[in-house]
A and B are shown apart, each in its own frame.
Chain A
C-alpha cells in the first residue's frame, strides 16, 4: 500500500448563494496526517465531501495521488483510494446489519479485526439502528480501517471521536496516528490534533495553517 498525496487547488463550493468553501489551497504530502479544525459551519465537512464527489465543487480541483476525478470511473477509483468515516452517523432509513456495513469496506476480515480492537466485536448480527452513538462511530471507523486494509491510500475522517468517551478518543487518536496512509481528520478534539503532523484551520470557508 502506498500513501497518496492530496492536493486541493482553489476549491470553492457553494450552497445556493452561500459560499461554504472559498478558494481552498492545501497540499497534503503522501503519508502526512493533517487535522482540519474550525468552527461549526466553516466548510470542513463540505471540503472532504467534495474530495469524494459527494458534493460538487464550483471551481478548483482536487487530486489524490496526482489523479483528478471527473468521469464516473474516476470517481469510483477515488472512492476506492480514500476510506471515509462520515460525520453524519445516522443509523439510516433502512435496516442494515453491522456485518453488512463492515463488509462494505472491502476487507471484512480486517474490518472485523478493527472492530474487535475498537471494542465493538460481537455486534455483527445487530442492525445499526440498535447501536449507541459511540458504538456506531466505532463501527464506521472499523469499516474505514477495513477499506485501508483493502488498498485505500488515504483516509478522511469527519469528527471520528465526537460521540466517544475519553478512553475512546485516545484509542481512536492512537489508531489513526499509526496508520501508514495519508490522513485528513476533521476534529475538535485536541488529542486528535496533537497526534497529527499538521493542523489547518478553516474559518468562513477559508483555510489557514495553525
Chain B
C-alpha cells in the first residue's frame, strides 16, 4: 500500500489520473455518438487518416499532429454526405480507412520520411500525459458536453431516425456534420493522448454498456459516463497496485463492466435506470415551438 501511495505522489501518475478522469467524463459521450451513428470502425479510419495528416505535415514542415487533427476534421466532414447512401456511414468508414492508409504510405514514400517515426507520433500513452494533453482533453470534453446538452433533443431524433428529425424541424445535415467532425477530432486526439488501445476503453466500451442499460439518449449518456468513471478509476488503481501497464488493465476492467451489463435481465433495467421515473427526455418543448 505504501508503494501505491508513493506512486500517487509522482506528477506523471497524477497527470494520468486527472487525464483519465477528464476522459471518462467526455469520451464516453463520443462513444454514444459512435454507436448511434453505427461507425464503430471510426477508430481505425481516423487512425489512418491521422497518419495521412502526419505524413503531409512531415512533408510540408508543419506541426504533424496539427495536420493529423485537421485531416481527421476534414475526413469527418467529408463523409457526412455519404450518410444517406445505401452503404451509409459504416461503408464510408471502410472506404476512408483503406484510402487514407494507401495515401499516407504513398506520401511517406514520396517524402522519404521514416514511416516508423510517423507511426510513433500516433502512439501515445496515458502515463506520458503532458499538461498540454490535459488541456486538449479538457477542451474536447467541454465541446462534447456543449454539443450534447445544447442539442440533445435534436440529437435524440437524429440518431433515432433522420427523416423523423427532418420532419420535426431538426437541421439534420449541419447537426450530422458537427457530430462527425467532433467524433473524428476526438478520436484522432485521443489516440495521440492515450494510445489506440485505450481509446476503445474510454469511448466504445462504456457506450456499449450504456446501450444495454439506457432507455433514452440522455440516460445512455449518463450511464456511459458512470461506466467510464467507474472503469477508469478501478482500472487505474488496480494497474498501480499490481504494478502493471495501465492500458491493458483499463481495457480489461472496462470490458468486464460492459460484459456485466449484458447479464442484467431486460425487466430489471427499468428499475435501475436513473431516468426511468424522471427522464422524459428533459422538459417538454413548449406548445407551438419547433425543435
Contacts and interface: CB of A to CB of B under 8 A. Distances in A.
Contacts of A54: 163, 166-167
Interface string B153-190: 10011011101111111010100000000000000000
Given A96-B216, A97-B215, A125-B279, A103 B160 contact: no
Contacts of A124: 280
A97 B289 contact: no
Interface stretch (A31-39, A85-93, A189-197): A85-93
Name the residue in A54, A97, A101 with the highest tally of chain B Cβ atoms < 10 Å from its Cβ.
Answer: A97
Contact of B279 (A92, A97, A149): A97
Interface in A116-169: 124-128, 149-151
B285 A108 contact: yes
Interface stretch (A62-70, A76-84, A175-183, A200-208): A76-84
B36 interface: yes
Contacts of B124: none
Contact of B290 (A80, A93, A125): A80
B217 A94 contact: yes
Interface residues of A, number: 35
B169 A97 contact: no
Contacts of B285: 103-104, 106, 108
B280 A150 contact: no
Contacts of B153: 100, 103-104
Instruction: Name which of A96, A107, A109, A124 has the most chain B CB atoms within 10 A of its CB.
Output: A96
Nearest to B277: A125
Interface residues of B, number: 36
Contact of B164 (A86, A106, A107, A125): A86
B117 interface: no
A95 B220 contact: yes
A125 B169 contact: no
B265 interface: no
A150 B287 contact: yes
Contact of B284 (A53, A86, A99, A149): A99
A43 interface: no
B36 A94 contact: yes
B31 to A, nearest CB: 13
A76 B167 CA distance: 8
A20 interface: no
A95 B211 CA distance: 8
B289 A106 contact: yes
Interface in B123-171: 153, 156-157, 159-161, 163-169, 171
B3 interface: no
Contacts of B63: none
Given A52-B167, A103-B285, A94 B160 contact: yes
A172 interface: no
Contacts of A95: 160, 214-217, 220
A151 B284 CA distance: 18
B215 A105 contact: no
Nearest to B36: A94
A127 B280 CA distance: 10
A6 interface: no
Nearest to A130: B215
B94 interface: no
B164 A104 contact: yes
A162 B214 CA distance: 30
Contacts of B165: 104
A33 B217 CA distance: 37
A11 interface: no
A108 B284 contact: yes
A95 B285 CA distance: 19
Q: In this complex, which of B159, B167, B290 has the most chain A Cβ atoms within 10 angstroms of its Cβ? A: B167
A106 B215 contact: no
Contacts of B215: 95, 97, 125-127
26 contacts: A54-B167, A79-B168, A79-B169, A80-B290, A90-B161, A92-B161, A93-B159, A94-B156, A95-B214, A95-B217, A96-B157, A96-B217, A96-B281, A97-B279, A99-B280, A99-B284, A100-B280, A103-B285, A104-B153, A104-B157, A104-B291, A106-B289, A106-B290, A109-B284, A109-B287, A124-B280
Given A79-B168, A94-B35, 13 more contacts: A52-B167, A54-B163, A79-B167, A90-B161, A93-B161, A95-B214, A96-B281, A100-B157, A103-B153, A106-B288, A110-B287, A127-B215, A128-B160
When A and B form their complex, which 3 residue pairs have the shortest distance between CB atoms, in order from nearest? A100-B281, A104-B168, A92-B160
